[in-house]
């Protein structure tokens, strides 16, 4: 999608299947501390989002008893073929909003394209830097370097959900781009439009604080993009992952 121009709970840990209880952990900030940070340090899951306050519409079929698996191993691996289909469409400089462990930023740096990752997680920023990418620990809603001069913004791996308000997020990203800049956004693999309260949770029930999230399939993403001042430029699917 292209910009037309610049615009501005703590809970008891549940028993394990074997009946034993693990020590209850204090909730952590979402995407910042354990268990998310631990998963990024090891590069492995399992890690899930748990639905706490679902949207009244039926959930997408990838929810399993109010748990949505998070693909930590893929995030921490080298870019796959679907990722490469996005990387080929990037023109620098590139801003990766919610860069996670940094596979896209590192790949762009290896190609000689200037790129910067933005993430609130210290573990994500540290891993991105270890891979050879540049990253800063900030929210995408904070003041960022080179605002209004980025040629491409990436919104991968469900990051349309950041903040739980896709119109506000896409309006913010519009303001970060240079005139005529491009957003490359990944949609959910189902025709969904979910506004939720969720928390990150590991297999032992350790979790962070609840936070607002959203999930949009391609039709819903096109609708909110239009409301935020974008126009569609291209749409494709690779490996079952839809992109706009």
Strand partners, 199: 50
What pLDDT does 35 receive?
86
Is residue 7 within 8 A of residue 229, CB to CB? The reply is yes
Rounded distance, CA 122 to CA 135, Å? 10
Is residue 62 within 8 A of residue 189, CB to CB? The reply is yes
What pLDDT does 24 receive?
34
CATH architecture of 2-7+26-243: 3-Layer(aba) Sandwich (3.40)
Q: Are strands 241-243 and 193-202 parallel, antiparallel or unpaired?
A: unpaired
What pLDDT does 143 receive?
97
Q: What is the pLDDT along the chain (244 residues), one digit of tens a residue?
A: 765 443 322 222 333 333 333 333 334 456 655 789 999 999 999 999 999 976 667 778 889 889 999 999 999 999 999 999 999 999 999 999 999 999 999 999 999 999 999 999 999 999 999 999 999 999 999 999 999 999 999 999 999 999 999 999 999 999 999 999 999 999 999 999 999 999 999 998 898 889 999 999 999 999 999 999 999 999 999 999 999 9
Is residue 46 within 8 A of residue 204, CB to CB? The reply is no
Is residue 173 within 8 A of residue 151, CB to CB? The reply is no
Phi, psi angles (nearest 5°) of residue 115: -150, 150
- Which residues, 6 or more positions from 199, have their beta carbon under 8 angstroms from its beta carbon? 9, 27, 30, 49, 50, 52, 207, 208, 209, 210, 211
pTM of the full predicted structure?
Answer: 0.86
What pLDDT does 29 receive?
55
Best CA proximity match to 222, nearest among 160, 162, 179: 160
What pLDDT does 205 receive?
87
């Amino acid at each position: 999608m292209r910009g037309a121009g610049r615009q501005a709970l703590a809970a008891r840990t549940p028993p394990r299947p074997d009946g034993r209880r693990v020590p209850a952990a204090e909730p952590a900030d979402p995407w910042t501390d354990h268990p998310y940070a631990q998963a990024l340090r090891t590069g492995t899951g399992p890690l899930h989002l748990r639905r706490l306050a679902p949207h009244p519409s039926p959930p997408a079929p990838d929810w399993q008893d109010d748990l949505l698996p998070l693909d930590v191993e893929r995030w921490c691996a080298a870019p796959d073929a679907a990722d490469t289909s996005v990387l080929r469409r990037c023109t620098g400089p590139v801003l990766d909003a919610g860069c996670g462990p940094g596979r896209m930023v590192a790949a762009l740096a290896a190609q000689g394209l200037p790129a910067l990752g933005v993430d609130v997680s210290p573990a994500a920023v540290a891993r991105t830097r270890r891979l050879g990418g540049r990253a800063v620990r900030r929210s995408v809603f904070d003041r960022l370097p080179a605002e209004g001069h980025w040629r491409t913004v990436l919104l991968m791996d469900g990051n349309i959900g950041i903040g739980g308000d896709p119109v506000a997020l896409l309006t913010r990203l519009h303001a970060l781009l240079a005139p005529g800049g491009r957003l490359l956004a990944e949609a959910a693999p189902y025709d969904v439009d979910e506004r939720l309260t969720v928390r990150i949770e590991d297999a032992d029930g350790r979790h962070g604080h609840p936070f607002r999230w959203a999930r949009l399939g391609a039709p819903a993403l096109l609708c909110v993009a239009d409301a935020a001042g974008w126009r569609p430029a291209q749409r494709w699917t690779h490996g079952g992952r839809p992109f706009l």
